[in-house]
Amino acid sequence: MMKIAVFCGSNCGASGIYREASVALGRALAAEKIQLVFGGTSKGLMKIIADTVLENGGSVHGIITQGLVDKGQQYPNLTVPEVVATRSLRKIRMAEVSDGFLAMPGGIGTVEELFEMWVDAQFEGHKKPLGLYNVNGFYDPMLQFIDTMIREGFLPPQQRDMLIVDADPRALLARCRTFTPVTIPKWM
């Protein structure tokens, strides 16, 4: 079974469109028999996507820190519960157990998690797909900034192809399945 780590907000965002997108992605993951790997909390978009995956017959692997468990924030219906000591260990475990990574709209933690996986691909050479679920153009400004990095000579243009960007969850998952790793060196 393929396992995809989804990085997303522990808040729901200002628009109902993000909730709807979480439901759409959760349904797509369950329909495609892809296990959701996520931060394991019962908050925000994380809760919505986990609820949807389970309601549609899928499975969820939650990796949560002990500190969040102690605060009562662990999602209660995890198929595979896993508790780790720190946030850094949580990201390491998510990377180890997942076959790919998707970032939904979220805050700085979401972006940091995606970028860490991207940097790992650059330096460590993992060959797992990195996707942006670009709901309502949420990531358009960040993509423009990445294009600026390329234009200004700080990122090889081919490494932009490490990011799969789509606003349709089924298309995004299909592109993750057929992803061809980019192996160009980081240094120009």
Q: What is the pTM of this model?
A: 0.94
Residues 104-130 have pLDDT tens digits of 999 999 999 999 999 998 887 789 999
Query: Which domain CATH number covers 39?
Result: 3.40.50.450
Question: 98 — alpha (psi -120 to 50), left (phi > 0) or beta?
Answer: beta
Q: Answer yes or no: is 141 within a domain.
A: yes
Q: Answer yes or no: is 181 within a domain.
A: no
Are the beta carbons of 76 and 117 closer than 8 angstroms? no
**Angstrom distance (rounded) from CA 1 to CA 171:** 19
Residues 56-102 have pLDDT tens digits of 999 999 999 999 999 999 999 999 999 999 999 999 999 999 999 99
Contacts of the segment 67-71: beta carbons below 8 A, 24+ positions apart: 68/40, 68/41
Looking at the structure of the chain, the number of domains it has is: 1
Range of 81's domain?
Answer: 3-176
